[in-house]
Amino acid sequence: MGEALQAALTERYDALSGSLRDRLISFVLSAFDSLGDYRDADAVVFIERVLPVVLGVQQKMGQITDAYLSTMIADMMGGAAAPAGMAISEELRGVPPGEVYRRPFVQMWTALSRGHDFVDAVGQGRTRLLSITETDLQLARTHAAQQSMQRGGVRFFRRRLTSGRNCALCTIASTQRYRVENLMPIHPGCHCKPEPLPGNRDPGHVIDEQLLKDAHDAIARDLGESDRGGRSPDYRDVIITREHGEYGPLLAVRRNNFTGPDDIPAA
């Protein structure tokens, strides 16, 4: 079957996962928009309404990811597809989900305390909610993918870009191979998917030299820097993987820094 089957599987998986994401985001944002005063009681009502749906969709994302990858791996390596079912932890971030989905309200209340008007504060909370929901679905995908690929005996994978617009971080990262024991790095708003690489032989760190060159040519045009080899600036000086306390591996630009415990002023 080969490439034709794999292309069909990918198209179907993309359609299913995209539909899941779009419907969940629409539901969650509509629930947020329909609230009254956005006080503590509203936050409780919101969480009680949306959290069971959010967690259910995360499980569904894990199931379809497992089914997709199991079939892909079987076609690549020979044998029958054997999706084993997938149980995604409700605490993908290591934090109770109720606490996570209260954060948009905290974002809004903080904005109000700093003098922002009500409409702007609600908008900030809504944006935070969108980021949380998308990120949690992506975490469900990457955790399920790692389990599925490990069970299927895959050693290496790549990140496959979406068919729409992709950021520079994802574009450059998609030219590299990753080891299955390492969870795929993500960033807020990331829609990339892990895709197994056939065989057990290490293909080398860079697996798409042309795309990497094209990406750096674009960066060079924007920054006014160029290099005939297409490696100025080197990708390792552009993107790195940081360990985020909740997301796990996080794609980041080298010059960006997180605030850590040492940055909190002493009392």
- Mean pLDDT along residues 102-107: 96
**Is it the case that residue 251 has pLDDT exceeding 80?**
no
C-alpha pair distances (Å), 223 with each of 217, 218, 247: 10, 9, 30
Give the three-state DSSP class for 151: helix
State the chain's mean pLDDT as an integer.
81
Ordered strands of the 178-179 beta sheet: 178-179, 156-160, 193-196
**Is it the case that residue 130 has pLDDT exceeding 60?**
yes
Does the predicted TM-score (pTM) go above 0.85? no
pLDDT at res. 233: 46
What would the pLDDT profile of 57-74 be if each residue is shown by its tens digit?
999 999 999 999 998 888
Find where tokens 């959290």 sit: 51
Give the three-state DSSP class for 246: coil
Amino acid at 120: D
What would the pLDDT profile of 202-248 be if each residue is shown by its tens digit?
877 787 777 777 766 766 666 555 443 444 445 455 555 666 666 66
Least confident range from 87-96, 104-113, 239-248: namely 239-248
Q: Give the length of the chain.
A: 267
- Cα separation of 154 and 156, whole Å? 6
Are residues 7 and 25 in contact, defined by beta-carbon separation less than 8 angstroms?
Answer: no
> pLDDT band at residue 122, thresholds of 50, 70 and 90?
very high
pLDDT at res. 229: 44
pLDDT at res. 241: 65
